Structure 1
């Protein structure tokens, strides 16, 4: 059978370990069916073959975001973006501008609030209340593990004091028992979000397609989606009903504290379901929260005396649930940020029964003791990390994250290079909408340990920078392997390809971050075409 599409480029990084030069890739039915040089194209082509020559572009396996939330993120990024605000006055101005002209009972939502704007003072809803003029408002902090709610929002939700939850969540209250407006972790935030109007499925489906199209334009061909909440599956199916998705998505629904045997059976039954370019594969756990909130799980308390407990009130229940899923062949991904959390996740993953369709993983791994690194390799656990999360910290440790941890633990932050040097597969991603999704800037940040294009910002732990090849593997072959697939460009693999206008293995990271994408191909279909001429 003659190929549907042949893609040619001066440079092709197959990432298969085969050093033979490749200039041409033949694709049939969404699968790579031949690789060779431009001279081979004459023999391959048929009457219906589309030949695309990208000239001096560089083709790599398709970029895969190892951790993102595109469906949930539609709600998380509702209304006002506060991510650029660097002072509480800027926050007030942005919220006041959004509230102006709205009805007294109309909601104001915002996201991306950096706790550093409070300058070390308690994080409360008081500044939010004055800015929105008494309206109900819900403002998510940048990590999406906490939010601020105004008194009007709390009244609508019936929240007038502390609550008890099956998970480690809290309605923060003052000495009199009155809520301060700060809500920590999902169960507490859900008390309010259940009362916020939600866009119809059809509207969110259209927004999802537009978002995925924007992602494809940055070179992304797929993503590991670390949630499947509420009607998310309905939204994705509706988006696919409008046409093939621009990205291939793999979803991991959450396993939360309090789950019973029926709930675990339901998660097992979901595995493998999906559509043409999306599927459910794996289950997501949380074993702790975040350092900035004081909800991480540390072996010693942070400088505020917080971050001392697991997200699961009984960590043994976490281990039991993980073992049940693993015995059924379900791969797990565990959010573990603090050192105690990472250690418990590794302990729980030790000597699991039953083969899974993909390796088990630990997500984030923000502060990591040296003695745990070898355990990742020995237990064959994937490290899933987000280099741009370190941009929320500062090299001089004056930020909230670092000051809570103290210098010793802050110096163990995001140890990507130490893990890779130890032979651990390190998969890279954005955690969008927590950080921007553009993989070019994340590839750069993984090498630079600072934001691309900002050389005046001191790098955070520069000795943890990855090589260009390590960074590219983290977004391609290793990310594919983390989903149980063979990565690289070789006969029989999926035809998901990214074409850079510059070579990601030979271009300075700051320059790579802004280099246009020549073409993005998913399932052998061109989903994004840049300005590079083609024939």
Structure 2
């Protein structure tokens, strides 16, 4: 047992170490960002002296710090501004919310909204004629819940100079009617950016302030780290400002995007950025997109959806994706590929398998989302060691009876293969869980609970979606701790409560492995520790 004086110690708690060598403990001690003692109270007291802050852990349960395996902190902070449209349950509510925003807005101000659910449109495609009259000439840009589409008002299109079809990379599209007039529906980021660039942008100081406030809220929910699946404009200046001011309280691994059409110089820049960072943040990896989303008809399926859509990849031809992956992998850059449709997942696996191994100790290649997958794809993940990165909270956008837009597009057979978390894990695939915030709420307690319930907690009136894919409490917890460290190549220093490991910790007011899943989302987080620093204390 170390005799070094601890900065602080927690005694009298329940500690789920997730360490096979010592699964349980009652106390731990921290110094200089590292766990220097883990054991019973008597053992840990040996690491304490008069300068040590001793915290009474009676009634609390500590776990390794929770990591969100897929989130968009900066991109999300910028996107999730304005009206939260997820509360709108029909078009009347949407129009009322926009009318009120227009009434109170400054002249010429843009009206922003996020979380718009296409299920409220009654089977219609998003169209500016739903909103233009209540906006009375105000520019508006409303992001749909999946983040892959938006609805722009007529005035916003006018300010952006978008008057007809535009040739865009991949399957991005400015949707136009039969006369070539834009409907306001914008599919995928290249289309959204055509309008976004006309809207006012935030200065780095403002982005940093948004991010600082966001990470504080995340800490209060128990998050200690996140795999950030973007490095958008403004990210680097904002992160550097927070680091300088010691206001960054979340450990972040950032993956810049490689979009279709990226050339050799663009790939070289992504390679050059690797390792850029500070004490709590680092550029580590790259994010690619093999397809879009099922709800918007931009996924890549082996067979078209009910509208004849979702028939092609984001990269055209897909061999350009394969070449980009090969270049990045050979440079040692771990890739994360957005792949939702079965064809997209299969193609990504084909490309990643030669660069992957189930025994790898380095950062792993990974596939994000995997919303529908046939049996033959499940075993392939384990065989090649590619990580399955999934977001159980996304089941909130579908229904067990397949009456929703996602299920209707896929049909019953493919919809029944929804988010096969348990099948992937039990087949031997590494499984990491996240929220995809701002697409779903960042609260990790909600992610853990939904992984067990297969519906959002607090919605007992909803039937679970594919309940056979539910995880156990321990499986879900390990997917946000142990496996999150494994996929980052940090399994020798993070993800468990073990002496010599990083002091990233989450403490609950009740045992997350014992509390019923419906209550877990409401269980208070009493302490959050990042790099040995207490960043939240209830």
Is structure 2 residue 258 aligned with structure 1 residue 255? yes
Deviates more, 1:290-299 or 1:202-211: 202-211
Given the alignment, which residue of 384, 405, 417 partners 2:410?
405
Counterpart secondary structure, 1:384: strand
The residue number in structure 2 matching 1:208 is 211
Task: Answer yes or no: is the 8 Å Cα contact 1:329–1:356 preserved in 2.
Answer: no
The residue number in structure 2 matching 1:420 is 425
Is structure 2 residue 453 aligned with structure 1 residue 448? yes
Query: 2:441 and 2:341 mapped to 1: Cα distance?
Result: 23
Q: CA offset at residue 356 of structure 1?
A: 8.3
Query: 2:121 and 2:84 mapped to 1: Cα distance?
Result: 17
1:103–1:215 CA distance, 2 compared to 1 (3 A): closer
Counterpart secondary structure, 2:77: helix
The residue number in structure 2 matching 1:508 is 516
Task: Answer yes or no: is the 8 Å Cα contact 1:9–1:58 preserved in 2.
Answer: no
Given the alignment, which residue of 359, 362, 368 partners 2:373?
368
1:231–1:356 CA distance, 2 compared to 1 (3 A): farther
Per-residue CA deviation, residues 284-315 of structure 1 (Å, 9 max, x unaligned), is 00000000000000000000000000001111
Task: Answer yes or no: is the 8 Å Cα contact 1:6–1:49 preserved in 2.
Answer: yes
The residue number in structure 1 matching 2:480 is 475
Query: 1:421 and 1:332 mapped to 2: Cα distance?
Result: 23
Q: CA offset at residue 468 of structure 1?
A: 0.5
Query: 1:3 and 1:402 mapped to 2: Cα distance?
Result: 54
Q: RMSD of the TM alignment (CA)?
A: 1.3
1:266–1:508 CA distance, 2 compared to 1 (3 A): same
Query: 1:317 and 1:158 mapped to 2: Cα distance?
Result: 31
TM-score (normalised: structure 2):
0.96
Query: 2:379 and 2:329 mapped to 1: Cα distance?
Result: 22
Query: 1:37 and 1:305 mapped to 2: Cα distance?
Result: 62
Task: Answer yes or no: is the 8 Å Cα contact 1:67–1:429 preserved in 2.
Answer: yes
The residue number in structure 2 matching 1:47 is 50
The residue number in structure 1 matching 2:272 is 269
Query: 2:18 and 2:356 mapped to 1: Cα distance?
Result: 32
Q: CA offset at residue 103 of structure 1?
A: 4.5
Q: CA offset at residue 341 of structure 1?
A: 0.4
What does 1:26-425 correspond to in 2, within 5 Å? 26-352=29-355, 357-425=362-430
The residue number in structure 2 matching 1:457 is 462
TM-score (normalised: structure 1):
0.97
Task: Answer yes or no: is the 8 Å Cα contact 2:504–2:532 preserved in 1.
Answer: yes
Task: Answer yes or no: is the 8 Å Cα contact 1:114–1:142 preserved in 2.
Answer: yes
Task: Answer yes or no: is the 8 Å Cα contact 1:244–1:277 preserved in 2.
Answer: no
The residue number in structure 2 matching 1:533 is none
Q: CA offset at residue 150 of structure 1?
A: 1.1
Task: Answer yes or no: is the 8 Å Cα contact 2:14–2:27 preserved in 1.
Answer: no
Q: CA offset at residue 21 of structure 1?
A: 3.3
Number of equivalent positions: 530
Query: 2:529 and 2:106 mapped to 1: Cα distance?
Result: 46
Q: CA offset at residue 167 of structure 1?
A: 2.2
Deviates more, 1:350-359 or 1:468-477: 350-359
Deviates more, 1:28-37 or 1:316-325: 28-37
Instruction: For structure 1, list consecutive stretches of 5 or more residues without a partner in the other structure.
Output: 531-535
